Amino acid sequence: MSARVLVVDDQEANVRLLEAKLRAEYFDVVTAFSGQSAIDCAIAQQPDVILLDIMMPGMDGFETCRRLKSDRRTRHIPVVMVTALDQPDDRVRGLEAGADDFLTKPVDNLPLFARIRSLLRLKVLLDELRLREEKAEERGLAPVDAESEALQDVNILLVAGEDRIASHLASKLPPQTNADVEIDPARAITRSADGYDLILIDLTTKAFDALRVCARIRANSETRQIPILAIVDPDEVSRSVRALDLGVNDIVHRPVDRGELNARIWTQLRRKRYADTLRERLEDSLEMAVTDPLTGLHNRRYISSRLQQVAEIVASGDTTASVVIADLDHFKRVNDTYGHEAGDFILREFSERLKARLRAVDLAARYGGEEFVILMPDAPLTEAKAGAERLRAAIADTPFRLPGDSGVLAVTVSIGVAEIQPGDDVDTVLRCADDALYRAKAAGRNCVMTDQKASQAA
């Protein structure tokens, strides 16, 4: 996986060394020699990963990282601090500034490329979500705030080889977390799908193959997005690399420092919550694209698409289906007499009564104004007409109570029904149902009429 990497260091020799290593692996490399130039370059070049030195004159790496993570244009870019500082306090300070990981000078190629590949995989997923979010913002939705709420009510699955080790690790977790311990690998894989916010797994155990547990969790679509934080020995470089390649999000070296562990947990949770928010917004946007905002029913675009799909199934001879068009009678008079607020209330109430009388397989949509379309799969004309008659009666028999003290209003509905015939396209079947609706209106309204051609053929 190739990508653009920004290398930042005030020492040109260090920059050129990292640049040569990265270019040998076919990465595109851009460079900067100060904190401010790194920020300017990140905004202009939009790199995929930033390798950032800490010890720089003027603006050091900590402050540079804080500024990068506070800017919406660059906060999504992973930052790896490359430093000679190797104390836990230094790592905690960097993580609190927003860094995603640390590499100690001189940089070993294996962990360097493993860490970059790992961060790139996460960034690719986030970038796809961010792109869709930007489209939503262009349509007027408020932007998602990358800052998450404080760490609280966090559920962690702690996987270790023995109770003693698990208890020791649990004692180092933040007090706001709820930790469930599992020492059986099969049960750990099963329990990982129980809605945990993070999985902490001890890779140093000899009791079972912890890497295989990580791989199984990542292979499951239900648990693929849960961050995994792994405990490893600092000397086991190849195991750390293997873990990152399998999809482990981050690594903590033994002996585990409480402050560093908590900072890394928070980093993973912050990223997860941001990604979860983007996914929820995407789902909401997709739902909005096919939903009528006033009634909560499907909209014209969605029902037209489903009509086409059902028409193709009917053409294959595997099923029957019918279409119902319902139109509220004299609805303009309602708006003119009682106002649009009352009209909207009638539309919503009608939609609720409609949904209450649908079969589980039926689909209803507001087609426009006071006109509604119902698609009834596996329903011949006679069955669809009976369902339409029940809807008509439910509207006519119970007056609508208007909001406030406006009293009640009797409302009726005219309905046309057509059965989808093999070879019909969407326009044809809708035209047949609409013709039946027109005849219902002409017959005095508050009645159900069927497609004449289908009735004559029957």
Which of 295, 426, 291 has the alpha carbon at shortest distance from 370? 295
Residue 145 has pLDDT above 60, yes or no: no
pLDDT, residue 37, reads 97
Our answer to whether residue 371 is catalytic in this structure is no
pLDDT, residue 101, reads 87
pLDDT, residue 83, reads 84
Residues 110-119: what's their mean pLDDT? 89
One of 134, 370, 383, 419 is an active-site residue; which one? 370
The answer to whether 1-143 and 144-282 have equal CATH topology is yes
Residue 258 has pLDDT above 80, yes or no: yes
Cis peptide before 255 (omega within 30 of 0): yes
> What crossing angle do the helices spanning 237-246 and 109-138 adopt, rounded to 10°?
20
- Give the lowest-confidence range in 24-33, 124-133, 158-167: 124-133
Residue 94 has pLDDT above 50, yes or no: yes
| DSSP H or E stretch at residue 38 | helix 35-45
Residue 102 has pLDDT above 50, yes or no: yes
- Over residues 422-452, the pLDDT tens digits come to 989 889 999 999 999 999 999 999 999 998 7
Residues near 443 by beta carbon (within 8 Å), at least 6 away in sequence = 449
Residue 458 has pLDDT above 50, yes or no: no
CA angle 322, 323, 329 (to 5 degrees): 140
Q: Which fold has domain 144-282?
A: Rossmann fold (3.40.50)
Cα distances (angstroms) measured from residue 415 to each of 82, 298, 305, 435, 440 = 71, 19, 22, 10, 6
**Domain segments of the chain: what residues?**
1-143, 144-282, 300-457
In the block, which residue shows the tokens 């497609």?
A: 451
Q: CATH assignment of 1-143?
A: 3.40.50.2300
Residues 293-304: what's their mean pLDDT? 92
Homologous superfamily in CATH for domain 300-457 = Reverse transcriptase/Diguanylate cyclase domain (3.30.70.270)
Residue 279 has pLDDT above 80, yes or no: no
Task: Indicate the burial class of 440 (C-beta count within 10 angstroms; 0-12, 13-18, 19 or more).
Answer: buried
pLDDT-derived band at 245 (thresholds 50, 70, 90) equals: very high
Residues 1-24: what's their mean pLDDT? 92
What is the C-alpha radius of gyration for the chain, rounded to an integer number of angstroms? 31
Task: Provide, rounded to the nearest whole percent, the portion of the chain with pLDDT above 90.
Answer: 67
